[in-house]
Structure 1
Amino acid sequence: MPDRTQRTVRDLRRGNRSALLRHLYFEGPLSRLELGRDTGLSAGSVSNVVGELIADGLVERAGVADSDGGRPRILLKVAAGYGHLVGVDVGETRVRVGLFDLDLTELAVTEHLLSDGGRDVDHVVRLVADGLRSVTADAGIEPATVLGVGVGVPGIVEQGWDSAVVHAQTIGWDAVPLGRLLRAGTRLPLYIENGAKTLGQAEMWFGAGRGARDAVIALIGSGVGACVVADGKPYRGATSSAGEWGHTTMRVGGRRCRCGARGCLEAYVGAASLLQRWRGAPAGMGEEAALAALSERAGHDQEAAALLDETAEYLGAGIADLVNLFNPERIVLGGWAGLLLGPRLLPAVRTAAAEYALRQPGRHASIELGQLGTDAVTVGAATLPLAHFLDSGGRAPSAAGNSAARTVRWA
């Protein structure tokens, strides 16, 4: 018969360790006294857990703080060099792989452009595997120090019992067993999520969403997606498809969307659709360069300016739908296209959102640009293994064992 008392004590210690590590990570450097005050743990519990974390190499000294009499207080922080994280952004225009320390400082990165919109799954899997090899070699680290690999992808991610399956209708991925395909190339812990949701977690933790409890983080790139955060937690829905904002209907019988339906928001504000509607688009130019050219041209070309004005109104109306449905306190516009066009469009977007939204929730919702740049999906992907690491109290994933004994291979 299992010892329930022993299990309860072990779970309590694990919970205390996780709580202290998470608080120190986001709020540190802090002293033991501040950790106890902030977490509500006793001085004895804080001393024991901190001692464990220091012995494990997870926590280190970060200086000394002056005190009002008595001994100076030693400040502590999470050791950035304890391990590494990999974030992968599988987009429609590129695959980007970044290697980070625990402070999410980027140590190495590799990027490969895609010419087919990311439709060839096998090619994408090869690029991810190549990127994993490249970033660890470039940074001069052993793969065994990597705590996990996070991958942000377009479409709906269905988390199965042993793998993640991706449904990305706009690029022709129908129930692609991406988790299984990627696991063939590495034994590292692997975490796969929709790219907009990884962007949302990054902006909520470190960027424009920080401090908000109810927010929507919008990703505007080739397509359009969103991460809905309710009471501090991402809202996923019954089958993890919540946040497919780009496929809400803006105009009945309107433009054909890449998903096959008509009148989707993405068909009016996504970069791919926007460039299709620009009659003056330069031939043979990549999406990002072409969208930059459209933004520049709008300063002296009436057709380009009118197209962006129309886009701002559609985007504002789409944001008004978010305001009316979810009553967020903050809407953050991110993604490479959102940040490229945002400085020009934001005033008109705010005006349109105010016109289309109900006044009461509209008054309480701010619309901001993301703060983490165009590569925030990569950072967000790296937060997937980071979140697991913090939740586990800094324990190595069970499949990998401790970092010194971890067996790792790249395909």
Structure 2
Amino acid sequence: MAERGKRTVRDLRRGNRAALLRHLYFEGPLSRQELGRDTGLSAGSISNVVGELIADGMVEEAGAVESDGGRPRILLQVAAGHGYVVGVDVGETRVRVELFDLALTERSSADLPLSDSGHDVDHVVRLALEGIETVVREAGIDDSEVLGVGIGVPGIVEQGDNAPGAGDGIVVHGQTIGWDAVPLGRLLRAGTRLPLFIDNGAKTLGQAEMWFGAGRGSGNVVIALIGSGVGACVVTNGKPYHGASSSAGEWGHTTLRVGGRTCRCGSRGCLEAYVGAEALIGRWPSAPEGVSEETGLALLLAAGDTDPEAGALLAEAAEYLGAGIADLINLFNPHRIVIGGWAGLLLGPRLLPGVREVAAAYSLHHPCAQTSIELGRLGPDAVTVGAATLPLARFLDTGGERAVRIPPQEGHVGLDGVRNRIARAIR
């Protein structure tokens, strides 16, 4: 038996596979020589590990390049078709589900409106399961090819002690949507045997922007999600900061005005009550009735130059957002602050100049001079992409190991029987 804390040959092999797989994924295509140069592994180790990864179908050849005086160098890349990942965004008005290959190219998708049931737990779970089943079927693949399902949700996500991907012990505290210690992992497990990974939606957005978007290349970033509500993902030294109980990043519920407007969380003066889409539209006297929040916010922006009340509301939002960003600068000293989320991307082009000006006025000069404030680059569906990176991250970090897959035994009932199981689990 290996001594505790001592690395075994198996650990070493797994670490080498993970190092090569991650580097190829983010920097490839690369040759064996470039992999050795970049990772510091010996030529023998590179040859052995690459041979294993090719034999396992995780890595494939991607052409060749000329070398100086020798044979052409064969380029390698992660095989996009080796497996698939699913991303689920439990949003404010819908549940969006997308299935991607390993290159995060979308293969199928489903949009399921929350309708009048809102964020009723039973309703959300059934929509998520329906969406997962739909995208797998429409992509024409077997669910054994799916490495896992990542789910981004509003609220605080308390991770369980089960094996990664099992999902059973994951609990969600979503104060603004009425979720109090909802055993979401267990409820979803009643209807699927696929590996489950669940995290806060702002954190999944943050991971997507760090991997592929405006956060790439920097280790200290804050990615803000602005939609109906407001959240943030704080990244320090390249890793998302979760805090003692995974509630770090609830930036929208920091107090900007003592005794101010009532927030959806029940407190007063929260940033969300001044810059969230729901709050902005709710305070616009000319807001049309019966339209979606996206339409309402677009109309508010369009009226900003002709309607004095709309213009004043947008100017105030820029001031509060700038002050909130100044707090982030003073607290975390990031290299970048990235504004994302569907409302953030919609508001950004108009508000960003004012936001930068206010942030500079309210923050300490030295850290502010080192911080850029910019818009996200991945569009309004970045939460779904980020959710899909949850199972993908585990796949890369383990050198291609498959996550826990619950066998179809008692307890796996599929969609047809999930309603009763959900009802029992809630009780």
What's the TM-score bracket when you normalise by the shorter of the two chains? over 0.9
Q: Does the aligned pair in 1 maintain the 2:195–2:404 contact within 8 Å?
A: no
1:303 Cα deviation (Å)?
A: 1.2
SS at 2:266 equivalent: coil
Tell me: CA distance 1:47–1:400, structure 2 relative to 1, closer, same or farther (3 Å).
farther
Matched, 1:339 2:314: no
- Code of the aligned partner of 2:155: G
SS at 2:86 equivalent: strand
1:140 match = 140
Q: Does the aligned pair in 1 maintain the 2:190–2:413 contact within 8 Å?
A: no
Question: 2:118, 2:221 → 1: CA distance?
Answer: 29
SS at 2:8 equivalent: helix
Tell me: CA distance 1:329–1:6, structure 2 relative to 1, closer, same or farther (3 Å).
closer
Matched, 1:206 2:218: no
Describe how 1:217-256 pairs up with structure 2 within 5 A: 217-256=223-262
1:121 match = 121
1:117 Cα deviation (Å)?
A: 7.9
Question: 2:361, 2:2 → 1: CA distance?
Answer: 62
2:178 match = 172
Once the two structures are superposed, residues 100-156 of structure 1 have per-residue CA deviations (whole angstroms, 9 ceiling, x without a partner) of 000001111101222358420100000001101111121111111100000000000
Matched, 1:197 2:203: yes
1:28 match = 28
Describe how 1:6-17 pairs up with structure 2 within 5 A: 8-17=8-17
What runs of 5+ residues in structure 2 fail to find an aligned partner? 163-168, 416-427
1:405 match = none
SS at 1:185 equivalent: coil
Describe how 1:178-189 pairs up with structure 2 within 5 A: 178-189=184-195
Once the two structures are superposed, residues 3-24 of structure 1 have per-residue CA deviations (whole angstroms, 9 ceiling, x without a partner) of 8899711110000000000000
2:420 match = none
Question: 2:274, 2:116 → 1: CA distance?
Answer: 21
2:74 match = 74
2:301 match = 295
1:53 match = 53
Question: 2:107, 2:85 → 1: CA distance?
Answer: 10
Cα RMSD after superposing both structures? 1.6
Once the two structures are superposed, residues 248-291 of structure 1 have per-residue CA deviations (whole angstroms, 9 ceiling, x without a partner) of 00000000001011000000001111111111110111111111
1:392 match = 398
1:185 Cα deviation (Å)?
A: 1.0
Aligned pair partner of 1:276 in 252, 265, 282 = 282
1:160 Cα deviation (Å)?
A: 1.7
Aligned pair partner of 1:324 in 327, 330, 355 = 330
Identity %: 73
Matched, 1:365 2:371: yes
Q: Does the aligned pair in 2 maintain the 1:117–1:171 contact within 8 Å?
A: no
Report the TM-score when normalising by structure 2: 0.92
- Code of the aligned partner of 1:82: H
Once the two structures are superposed, residues 328-369 of structure 1 have per-residue CA deviations (whole angstroms, 9 ceiling, x without a partner) of 010000000000111111111111111111111111110000
Q: Does the aligned pair in 1 maintain the 2:62–2:75 contact within 8 Å?
A: yes
- Code of the aligned partner of 1:332: V
Q: Does the aligned pair in 1 maintain the 2:2–2:8 contact within 8 Å?
A: no
Once the two structures are superposed, residues 354-394 of structure 1 have per-residue CA deviations (whole angstroms, 9 ceiling, x without a partner) of 11111111111100000000000000000000000001101
SS at 2:298 equivalent: helix
SS at 1:222 equivalent: coil
1:383 match = 389
Question: 1:82, 1:38 → 2: CA distance?
Answer: 24
Q: Does the aligned pair in 2 maintain the 1:187–1:409 contact within 8 Å?
A: no
Tell me: CA distance 1:294–1:68, structure 2 relative to 1, closer, same or farther (3 Å).
same
- Code of the aligned partner of 1:89: D
* Aligned positions, number: 405
Question: 2:202, 2:327 → 1: CA distance?
Answer: 18
Question: 2:142, 2:89 → 1: CA distance?
Answer: 22
- Code of the aligned partner of 1:243: G
Q: Does the aligned pair in 2 maintain the 1:91–1:118 contact within 8 Å?
A: no
SS at 2:339 equivalent: strand
SS at 2:319 equivalent: helix
- Code of the aligned partner of 1:347: P
Question: 2:279, 2:389 → 1: CA distance?
Answer: 30
Q: Does the aligned pair in 2 maintain the 1:32–1:47 contact within 8 Å?
A: yes
Question: 1:261, 1:60 → 2: CA distance?
Answer: 54
- Code of the aligned partner of 1:351: E
1:152 match = 152
1:83 match = 83
Tell me: CA distance 1:121–1:4, structure 2 relative to 1, closer, same or farther (3 Å).
closer
Report the TM-score when normalising by structure 1: 0.96
Question: 1:197, 1:2 → 2: CA distance?
Answer: 36
1:96 Cα deviation (Å)?
A: 0.2
Once the two structures are superposed, residues 27-54 of structure 1 have per-residue CA deviations (whole angstroms, 9 ceiling, x without a partner) of 0000000001000000000000000000
